[in-house]
Structure 1
């Protein structure tokens, strides 16, 4: 089992915009890591307190993640933290080594882990 991280910033606190951003993030994580939904043991989402118009997990359900266990939580409201951000941790069954995993950071979220965000540029 490996963990795959991802994050994306969202332009507005609107359900449709949050859904579109989360779906884009999940699709890229699946594509870049060559995952099948059956490989995903669980997905843990968090959103910053300024994003309360939608549950990120509901966006996953809209694109067919119906059997994947999903969990959502709220990020801490930390001074100077990144606003308007959804993060995800996928727990996946894979034979890949950690250095073979492609973590995906989109929008302004690439500042969270620039060492991992470089993978999306390769």
Structure 2
């Protein structure tokens, strides 16, 4: 299972006015940030992986929108977020197959890296938002 559907390279937001494009990017970034926070705050030991999977689904949807909105302006940061999201999906799959302390720890570390990459994207977007 991949966490992020690869956004087609030909996706272009032509026709959007600069302010409308900026607003869309900022709104989608806020949605990703909220999803990443939900994922970070998920209590794996209390709720098991089901809450993580639910949070990942929400994050995936929000990331798809953000990646589409921001790819043109922030390609490097978007690619890094996408890589981090895919790594998190891999660790969740591994934890599901073998739910032990090491695999659950890897999920936490991957989630932290994803949150950091989303934060870096937000920092790059600071002038826009």
The answer to whether the superposition gives a TM-score over 0.5 is no
* Bigger strand fraction: 1
* Bigger helix fraction: 2
Give the TM-score of the pair, scaled to structure 2.
Answer: 0.30
Looking at CA atoms only, which structure, 1 or 2, has the larger radius of gyration? 2
